[in-house]
Amino acid sequence: RPDTKSDQLVFNENIGPFIKCVENAKRSDKGYLLIIDEINRGDLAKILGEAIFLLEPGQKRKITLRSGKVLEMPDNFYLIGTMNTADRTIAMLDFAIRRRFSFINIWPSAKQLEKIYDSNDSQVDSSVKEKALEYYNKIQNIFFNYATDDDLNIQPGHTYFIANTEDELKNKMKYEVAPLLKEYLAIG
């Protein structure tokens, strides 16, 4: 990165989380996992820089950076990137980036929502859980009746159905879920 604190422009090496995690993994026999949340919100090629070449499948897992430093990808390093496919304001990953990753769709489910309520340490009344599951199932039916295959990427996830009280849940439906349905599916 450029250092502009002095009279001269100097470029200093700046080791970020990716390289730090790779270096830590090389010194360990344990697995190292780096999670990049909403990976498609930034320009991944700029964020990872030359290190993006370490993610190329079937290629050598060693590169020489412009700084002269050799960076090698250890076998015990794992990278997971999450994406919110419902956010239409951000671009999808380009093909050069996409080929470096495997993609797994994780859809919301009533069973998972039940697990979330059952594992909640707070004493949420069972009526809230029942109402949440009722709303969840209604919304899923709306999606499967009105949505195209592409629209399934925008179905509301679990967080819209998690609440401590029925009033909180009703407000989420009214002020968060209903506007989503109106915008995404043109349902009035």
* pLDDT for position 133: 94
Q: Which residues of the chain have pLDDT under 50?
A: none
Looking at residue 187, its pLDDT comes to 61
pLDDT value for 153? 64
What is the pTM for the complete model shown? 0.68
User: Residue 162's pLDDT is what?
Assistant: 92
Query: Coil, helix or strand for 60?
Result: coil
Strands 2-3 and 62-64: unpaired
What is residue 172's predicted lDDT score, i.e. its pLDDT? Answer: 95
Q: Which two tokens stand for residue 77?
A: 């390093």
- How far apart CA 92 and CA 97 sit, in angstroms, is 10
Using the Cα atoms of residue 16, residue 37, residue 88 and residue 169 in order, give the sign of their dihedral: negative
Tell me, what amino acid is at 32?
Y
**Are 135 and 127 within 8 A, CB to CB?**
no
143 close to 152: Cβ distance less than 8 angstroms? yes
Residue 68, Ramachandran bin (φ over 0: left; ψ between -120 and 50: alpha; else beta): left
> What is the pLDDT, as a whole number, of residue 70?
85
Give the per-residue pLDDT at 90: 55
User: Of 146, 154, 56, which is closest to residue 105 (Cα–Cα)?
Assistant: 154
pLDDT of residue 65: 77
